[in-house]
Structure 1
Amino acid sequence: MTDAALVNRMQLPRPDTTPEAAAEILQTHYGLTGTITELGSQQDRNYRIDAGDNSYVLKICRTEYAAVELEAQNAAIRHLHTKSDAPRVPNIVPSLNGRDILVVTIREQDYLVRLLSYLPGQSLMRRKHLPAAAVSALGALSGRLARDLADFDHPGLHRSLQWDLRRAGPVAVQLLSAISDHEARDRIAKAMVAAVKRIQPLASGLRVQPVHHDVTDDNVVSHPDAHGQPIPDGVIDFGDIIQGWLVGDLAVTCASLLHHAEGDPFYIIPAIKAYQAIYPLREAELKALWPLIVARAVILAASGEQQLSIDPDNDYVRGNLEFERKIFDVATGAQPDVMEAAILRAAGLDIAPLATEGWSALLPDIASDHIAAVDLSATSPHFVDGNWLKPDMDWRLLAKAAIASGSAATRYGEFRLSHADLLSMTPPNNFALHSDICLPAGTTVTAPFAGRIQWHGQHLVLVGEAVSLHLDGVECALEEGAGVEQGAIIGAIGSEGSAVGGLRVQLCRIQGMVPPLFATAHQADGWSSICPSPAALLNQACEAPRLDSAALLTRRQAHFAKPQKHYYDAPPQIERGWHEFVFDTEGRAYLDMVNNVTMLGHAHPRLTAAIERQWSQLNTNSRFHYAAVAKFSERLADLAPDGLDSVFLVNSGSEANDLAIRLAWAHTAKKNMLCLLEAYHGWTLASDAVSTSIADNPQALTTRPDWVHPLVSPNTYRGPFRGPDSAADYVAGVTTLLETIDEKGEGLAGFIAEPVYGNAGGIALPRGYLADVYAAVRQRGGLCIADEVQVGYGRLGHHFWGFESQDVVPDIITVAKGIGNGHPLGAVITRREIAESLEKEGYFFSSAGGSPVSSVVGLTVLDIMEDEGLQENARIIGDHLKVGLIGLMDHFPLIGAVHGMGLYLGVEFVRDHETLAPATEETAAICERLLELGVIMQPTGDHLNVLKIKPPLCLSAESADFFVKALEKALNDGF
């Protein structure tokens, strides 16, 4: 095809057809009728036909595209059907006369027509956000397709196409003529010139083969994975298939991702890794990848502008233009050398290390082994009680270390905790690409290599052949452009009126660039290749070791028994907490909205000090006589209703509930226990027996011992009887079950239940439910156990105990988790005669239950809760948070209900407000998305479709608002 013919094709509008014409074609040539919907396309007309149980896509193409090109598309589809691991592709549907391609005349114009089966699945195009799993899967899909097309050939592949990246430069020149905005045209032209300049030297090393050339978010369909995230697995169109550059195929895929990237070009890295794992690219191809992405972005932007000028009614093009402009902005806004380095590292290729052999000393007055390296990481012993949040904390610690040792430096390649951003939906810029040094004022600074001087304001740069040395804090009289020999004096450290001064040291391989001082974690590979470590100028201790969290997870899985699960498939490595936040080893701060164990918040200094003090004095078991166990038991009894005056101290909620059941057995001499469906009470033999949650144990409903009698879940939202006044209906079922037990003459030991349906998502029980059930149980001599492990102890805000919301008093209270703020501590509170019933079976003992340390922990937690008004905070902030969550319901129909009170809330997601079909996969995906946005959240309930909101009681209003905003963003942008 001549260039003139290509230019002519580039200027073609879509075929002038209508849905009515499409219906006539279908009826006449394919014998089909059905509902017709037009689909978008830039230069074709595509119609979806729903005909009974089957759906099709009718494709109408201009005859300027030769039939052999369409035949190549059909042949490629058939070729892929022969591959065992190929992506899903449509089927070719022949016409009634058996032909795959027809020539049809519409309004005196001939067109080429084909019919394909409709490939089911979700589109990715209109989603604002694509999770990393989807990005990776799209890269893998592109790799699989390229691999499976490698042995395909057809004459129709050898054609001229405006999307062929081998022709990007000339095509761009032609397209630019349609852009009237001179500033935009100039920007697009410059971007293409820069891209072509980087591609040309690599072109001879770029492999050519059959490539789809359009594996984009708009051209694939997906299905949700187990976490509800969209995984592309099918390709729906082959209109751009050509014989072209292999790497250009991946460039097209990556470019399409950039409008989902929220301005971050590194967003494409998972796609590159996945592609490389399936169909590895060579080094030259990897180096060409980023400029080809830029070239694709240029062609997209220019082509969209041109097509809209000749086909202004094309809503598909108009809608895509916004995305194409975003792609262009992200692609042209990135630093190409950094992106090249990041791509090479992602593909497993090492960047050649900087050759520092033969360099002379930067600081000849100071022996390198006298420079102390200061740890500013998430695990630094210098960071305590949140002091890393203070301004200039890095320099304070640096100066302190320098005073002690003479000189000190921060570490290159360290994720600094002091740069962690609280309440941020994006990772922090905290990966240090430099070192700061505190050293004596007047210290001489010399050139480690020969170069020339550049000044950027007060910023001094020594420009060498392979690298530039960036220095701040040097008093230097050398002028711009001055040459400096290796070992020559550059200047001295100055700090007026002080004995010490500061020097900032950074290396950069790109001349003329003033690099950033920090990078985000996912940008670290790219930027650290451009800005290598300056440790060779200081000492090796001034470079932080790279942590391998994935390797640590592998070690955990090798020896930590498999049934002990962890949150998330790829969990962050959490090593520090503070208030309602936890921090990973990359210095990312996460809002902890799920950890009801840490009632006071993480790392409370008063609790830390109390534990340290008691450990230094004594820790033993409760059979010794000491003050703390008496004081704590007394405090717990005082918090309980009158008459509940006897306390057992144990290690956990499971142990507390197990003991409560044993007390019921011992006191009544009966065995039968009532419990609720959808409940969880623990992992010991007895507490597990009364746990019926199928989310925790899929076999729960078929493996309960015969002494366990589960009651219908009084779920006021999705149970058989709904609303707060449904108690009588549920109690009727309880009465029926009790009568059955009565008939057997076996008697009843008791009833255990959470007073608020915690495990189901904080759902309130029907009004009066516990009063009626407690009365029926007690009428038969049974005991009533209130499991307050999750919902009690001030968490509800409006009540200290959950049972107070039902105006009842239990016979036994169990409590754990928050009463120790993470220390293994639980308690059972009951009446004296019930407690003493256990003595006929022997004495009770829990090794750490009620130990001096445990008792002091319990006392200190209560003191802090009172002094800091944490129950009141749970009421105020919990009410505020619930209002914010309810406010989302009007905008997002996925939210079916907001349950709970105080700081025990649940957001339940449903696909249908009538059937209440649980949105299980969506909830899992939302939790994954919230993690990306800086929030720790997990699902609960038998259907795992409820967000379990139970943060530390110190939660602030700002943190509550941040959670609502993060959830709103997840629901709005996609997950």
Structure 2
Amino acid sequence: MPTRLHDAATVLRQITERVSLPAPCLALSQARELLSEHYGLCGELQPLGSQQDLNVLMDTGQGKFVLKACHASYAEPELHAQHAALGVLRDQGLPVPSVVAAKTGNTLLTLDIEGQALRVRVLEYLQGQPLTRCGWLPAPVIQAMGTLCAQVDRALADFDHEGLARTLQWDPRHAPALIDRLLAQVEDPRLRGRLSEAARAAAIRLSPLMKQLPIQAVHLDITDDNTVWAQDAQRQWQLQGLIDFGDLVRTWRVADLSVTCAALLHHADGDPFRVLAAVSAYQAVNPLTEAELRALWPLVVNRAIVLVLSSAQQQAIDPGNQYIRDNAAHEWQIFETAQAAPLALMEVAILQAAGSAPSAPCFVDCAPLLPTVAGHPVARLDLGVLSVHCDAGNWEVPGFDQRLLAAQSAPACTLHGQYRLSQTHIDRSEEPATCALGVELKLEPGTAVQAPQDGTWRSVDEQSGYLRSSSWDLWLTGLAQAPADGQWLRKGDALGNSGERLSVQLCLDSSLEPPFFAAPSRAPAWLALCPSPAGLLRLDCNADALPDPHALLARRGASFARSQKHYYLDPPQIERGWRNYLIDLQGRSYLDMLNNVAVLGHGHPRMAAESARQWSLLNTNSRFHYAAVTEFSERLLALAPDGFDRVFMVNSGTEANDLAIRLAWAYSGGRDMLSVLEAYHGWSVATDAISTSIADNPQALETRPAWVHPVEAPNTFRGRFRGPDSAADYLRDVDNRLAELDASRRQLAGIICEPVYGNAGGIALPPGYLQAAYAKVRARGGVCIADEVQVGYGRLGEHFWGFEEQGVVPDIITMAKGMGNGQPLGVVITRREIAEALEAEGYFFSSAGGSPVSCRIGMAVLDVLQQEGLWDNARETGRYFKARLQALVDKHPLAGAAHGSGFYLGLELVRDRDTLEPATEETMVLCNRLRELGIFMQPTGDYLNILKIKPPMCTTRASVDYFVDCIDRVLSQGV
């Protein structure tokens, strides 16, 4: 024992001496002279940050190198070991720097510079940047870090060198003693207490595992700061290399991964589960033992504590070191995130990430918890996302679950492992805790409750507590008569009687007070710790497993034509909607900011009632005589300008625009159409012909038929002519196209144009553009078609129809999408003489266009839009929305412009405000990041660099604030 105490004291003394050293002092002029004299290198110098070493970058013009200087107290074998390890890793093809020899041929020099004895060496500089200041990191980067760590450890598995036998403050074997010594550096007693308690809890977990942990050479600093990266053309981070082998040591193998995981916590947005991707990636390359996996998170916690304490120590020693000051806040953040989940939960999650499932408990020898109920039929209460009990948002009312349970006949139970809709939340970035980790039962009051195993009862209050057995804790709430606190009970002893409702939950780890609900990402780990009590209840209380969304996506890909794309590479399975939210099967509510079809919002009860009622009566085609088609036609004409007196009912915007083209042909006697570049009008042969959006069809500009004549897009933001006074400039291209037609003596059929540029994010046309263009077309016998499919029906807020913004009246109006709130419904509104021109070619018929169901739903949409004030909401909330987007433009250089009005808005992202270089890849990164924060958003525009913001018209200011705040958050973190 005295020898061990002496060894521990010696280790602490050595560590303390080393950590007490400030970084070497070396002026740039001295560094320049040193590099020239000993290495023959000349160039520009730049100091690099470090905690205890001195690093200087030299750019010679032909190459870049790093001068590294440390105190001579660093033994030469330690530095030679680093050089040897670099050689081993390079031989394995890993991206590490080479060591540059001095003129003497030595790779390590010991120099005296103004009384400082320094060890000096020069390494190749690896191009790239560290990720320390990047904030949030995407999952592929986290996986890449885990893979790199595994590759390095596997390559160094058999590496040995005398310089590895060193005493290092970062060696986790010394962490407990070092923490104890340095705790005094933290003056705040509350913070000091938190660090001490965290270290104590980690020691309890780690102590029985230490002798089982394999030892080898490890880098021990594979972090965001010591890896360098570069972004590819898609703005994805690609690893360029690993640097800084200053912490190379022989210690526990798993220590390397613990350091990497700890560093990644700085980029986890407070969620430690995000770093599990690194564990999975590591395990796939260099599998850890079960003991190592169990030891991993205690080591992460200890690493976080040592980081905090070491920074406090170094700041006291070297208060002028900016590098240390900058890192201090990050290191506290790492500690806070490491503490954001219990050690027991992280242990199970790590085992699961590594492909190892903890064993389930056995209840064979247990007595039934409810002896008079066990084995009897029980009513299973479905509270899941698709439950028939959930309707029209009733799940939002507090106490929804309990009221439903109370209405059941006893015995009844909720379901263990079910994701409950009532637990969802809105406009929040964190996942809702929806997965039930226990069961609630409705019982006859006075139902006997007995101890399933021997154990001690611990009271929480008069009606709740837990029975602690040798295998688990059984948590109960709702006992009418509970045992006394501390009472020892044998299997079968009475635990008392139940009230009408009893809550039952198991927990396998006695250090935990488990929550009753868990977030979906944490649910597998929590369910392993809180298994179903069905074995104790002898009742069928387990929820059915959810379908595998990846398997369903594979089935979709095997049967659904690939050209029909889906949002996101790994989309959530959406099976329910309510108002301006879409809900997946795990109960997460996503803010829907892109669904311009559901103008009223999702799941509207009026839509359900109207369609069910009409389906129960009649649904047929419009050649039969019924009231709905007449009534709806009259209401649509009342919304159109004076002079419009005929309606065609169709199924979609594509069909509406296709019909509008046919009407123009029939009325004018010509075939040639003017369309506008960057526009989208539909997928039929004719509407695809006039669509020129290369985002929708990359070959759009090369595949136009001869009868289509695109004119220059009057894009006032990024077009050839910019600003509100550019109409005359853009109209010259209209004149040119018309002049070509005049010269060829071809009859013009008409022009089709969105009055507001929908696919470009709602950009307004320059004032006067349509007025002049319409006049030119009409002078040649053509008709003017306003494609209002995306922007009409009050969505713009300031106007009901988009053409009103231009102060014009078209000859044909086409509309679809939102007019049916999701029901296939489209319309063409025009004048009698244009409508009747089609009769010369035969009659027109659309099988389901104008069906009774569609017409009734169409009228109900108009009712709700008015009754619920949604047009007013589009105007008022839309103005607020636009102002908030403009504030983003004022704050973030990447946000180039805010377009549109009402609930048809666009935020255009550019890399340069002058050149307007589109930030295409950044926009996609932003959309994917918003999805992780619970928001659905997709890009639009020919360069896919515009957020196309077109939410349901019931969207609130709170949702607007959440959406814009999240964009601000992501742009602040960097994309």
Given the two structures, how large is their TM-score scaled by the length of structure 2? Answer: 0.95
Q: What SS is found at the alignment partner of 1:342?
A: helix
Q: What SS is found at the alignment partner of 1:90?
A: coil
Q: Which amino acid aligns with 1:857?
A: I
Which residue of the other structure, out of 443, 466, 471, is the alignment partner of 2:471?
Answer: 466
Aligned to 1:381: 388
1:135 aligns with 2:142: yes
1:481 aligns with 2:480: no
Question: 1: distance between equivalents of 2:938 and 2:99?
Answer: 44
CA deviations 1:785-834 (Å, max 9, x no partner) are: 21111111110011111011011111221111101101111112222232
* Structure 1, 911-920 or 696-705: larger mean CA deviation: 696-705
Aligned-residue offset at 1:333: 5.4
Q: Which amino acid aligns with 1:391?
A: P
Q: Which amino acid aligns with 1:69?
A: E
Aligned to 1:944: 944
Aligned to 2:826: 826
Aligned-residue offset at 1:903: 0.8
CA deviations 1:315-361 (Å, max 9, x no partner) are: 11111111112222333454211111111112111111111113222
Question: 1: distance between equivalents of 2:516 and 2:867?
Answer: 43
Tell me: CA distance 1:885–1:360, structure 2 relative to 1, closer, same or farther (3 Å): same
Aligned to 1:200: 207
Aligned-residue offset at 1:104: 4.1
CA deviations 1:369-420 (Å, max 9, x no partner) are: 4221111111111000000011100011111223xxx221111111211111
Aligned to 1:24: 33
Question: 2: distance between equivalents of 1:416 and 1:323?
Answer: 36
Question: 2: distance between equivalents of 1:787 and 1:277?
Answer: 54
Question: 1: distance between equivalents of 2:931 and 2:899?
Answer: 22
Q: Which amino acid aligns with 1:241?
A: L
Aligned to 1:498: none
Aligned to 1:794: 794
* Unaligned stretches of 5+ residues in structure 1: 495-500
Q: What SS is found at the alignment partner of 1:829?
A: strand
Q: What SS is found at the alignment partner of 1:731?
A: helix
CA deviations 1:646-695 (Å, max 9, x no partner) are: 22222211222222222223333333222222211122212112222222
Aligned to 1:272: 279
Aligned to 2:640: 640
Q: Which amino acid aligns with 1:398?
A: L
Report if aligned partners of 1:130, 1:974 keep a CA contact under 8 Å in 2.
Answer: no
Aligned to 2:762: 762
CA deviations 1:945-965 (Å, max 9, x no partner) are: 111111111112222222222
Aligned to 1:557: 557
CA deviations 1:514-563 (Å, max 9, x no partner) are: 32111111121222222111122335642213322222222222222222
Aligned to 1:497: none
Question: 2: distance between equivalents of 1:416 and 1:236?
Answer: 48
Tell me: CA distance 1:492–1:689, structure 2 relative to 1, closer, same or farther (3 Å): same
Question: 2: distance between equivalents of 1:703 and 1:215?
Answer: 52
Question: 2: distance between equivalents of 1:550 and 1:909?
Answer: 32
Q: What SS is found at the alignment partner of 1:564?
A: coil
Question: 2: distance between equivalents of 1:684 and 1:369?
Answer: 60
Which residue of the other structure, out of 42, 55, 60, is the alignment partner of 2:51?
Answer: 42
CA deviations 1:842-882 (Å, max 9, x no partner) are: 33222211111111111111121122222111001100111
Report if aligned partners of 2:126, 2:240 keep a CA contact under 8 Å in 1.
Answer: no
Aligned to 1:527: 526
Q: What SS is found at the alignment partner of 1:423?
A: coil
1:451 aligns with 2:455: yes
Report if aligned partners of 1:133, 1:231 keep a CA contact under 8 Å in 2.
Answer: no
Aligned to 2:610: 610
Q: What SS is found at the alignment partner of 1:64?
A: coil
- Matching of residues 174-253 of structure 1 within 5 Å: 174-176=181-183, 184-185=191-192, 187-224=194-231, 228=235, 230=237, 232=239, 234-253=241-260
Question: 2: distance between equivalents of 1:211 and 1:540?
Answer: 52
Aligned to 1:64: 73
Aligned-residue offset at 1:24: 2.7
Report if aligned partners of 1:371, 1:539 keep a CA contact under 8 Å in 2.
Answer: no
Q: What SS is found at the alignment partner of 1:542?
A: coil
CA deviations 1:167-201 (Å, max 9, x no partner) are: 33344345446556666555544533442342232
Tell me: CA distance 1:713–1:50, structure 2 relative to 1, closer, same or farther (3 Å): farther
Q: Which amino acid aligns with 2:519?
A: T
Q: Which amino acid aligns with 1:523?
A: R
1:431 aligns with 2:435: yes
- Matching of residues 497-536 of structure 1 within 5 Å: 501-511=500-510, 513-536=512-535
Tell me: CA distance 1:812–1:53, structure 2 relative to 1, closer, same or farther (3 Å): farther
Aligned-residue offset at 1:763: 0.5
Aligned to 1:288: 295
Percent identical residues: 53
Aligned to 1:145: 152
Aligned-residue offset at 1:96: 5.3
Tell me: CA distance 1:29–1:687, structure 2 relative to 1, closer, same or farther (3 Å): farther
Aligned to 1:909: 909
Question: 2: distance between equivalents of 1:694 and 1:92?
Answer: 50
Aligned-residue offset at 1:158: 4.0
Q: Which amino acid aligns with 2:331?
A: E
Question: 1: distance between equivalents of 2:557 and 2:539?
Answer: 32
Aligned to 2:175: 168
Question: 2: distance between equivalents of 1:285 and 1:334?
Answer: 19
Question: 1: distance between equivalents of 2:44 and 2:938?
Answer: 42
Q: Which amino acid aligns with 2:213?
A: L
* Structure 1, 896-905 or 632-641: larger mean CA deviation: 632-641
Q: What SS is found at the alignment partner of 1:428?
A: coil
Q: What SS is found at the alignment partner of 2:947?
A: strand
Report if aligned partners of 1:795, 1:953 keep a CA contact under 8 Å in 2.
Answer: yes
Question: 2: distance between equivalents of 1:832 and 1:319?
Answer: 73
* Structure 1, 875-884 or 252-261: larger mean CA deviation: 252-261
Tell me: CA distance 1:942–1:50, structure 2 relative to 1, closer, same or farther (3 Å): farther
Equivalent residues, number: 964
Tell me: CA distance 1:91–1:762, structure 2 relative to 1, closer, same or farther (3 Å): farther
Which residue of the other structure, out of 291, 295, 309, is the alignment partner of 2:316?
Answer: 309
Question: 1: distance between equivalents of 2:62 and 2:907?
Answer: 36
Aligned to 2:358: 351
Which residue of the other structure, out of 411, 431, 449, is the alignment partner of 1:407?
Answer: 411
Question: 1: distance between equivalents of 2:48 and 2:649?
Answer: 67
Report if aligned partners of 1:138, 1:231 keep a CA contact under 8 Å in 2.
Answer: no
Aligned to 1:255: 262
Aligned to 2:118: 111
Q: Which amino acid aligns with 2:624?
A: F
Question: 2: distance between equivalents of 1:295 and 1:755?
Answer: 62
Question: 2: distance between equivalents of 1:180 and 1:512?
Answer: 29
Q: What SS is found at the alignment partner of 1:119?
A: coil
Question: 2: distance between equivalents of 1:281 and 1:874?
Answer: 56
CA deviations 1:762-788 (Å, max 9, x no partner) are: 111111111111222222222222111
Report if aligned partners of 2:150, 2:286 keep a CA contact under 8 Å in 1.
Answer: yes
* Structure 1, 21-30 or 869-878: larger mean CA deviation: 21-30
Report if aligned partners of 1:159, 1:242 keep a CA contact under 8 Å in 2.
Answer: yes
Q: What SS is found at the alignment partner of 1:72?
A: helix
Question: 1: distance between equivalents of 2:414 and 2:233?
Answer: 43
Tell me: CA distance 1:244–1:626, structure 2 relative to 1, closer, same or farther (3 Å): same
Aligned to 2:3: none
Report if aligned partners of 1:819, 1:826 keep a CA contact under 8 Å in 2.
Answer: yes
* Structure 1, 572-581 or 88-97: larger mean CA deviation: 88-97
* Structure 1, 173-182 or 141-150: larger mean CA deviation: 173-182
Question: 2: distance between equivalents of 1:254 and 1:970?
Answer: 22
C-alpha RMSD of matched pairs (Å) = 2.3
Question: 1: distance between equivalents of 2:81 and 2:742?
Answer: 78
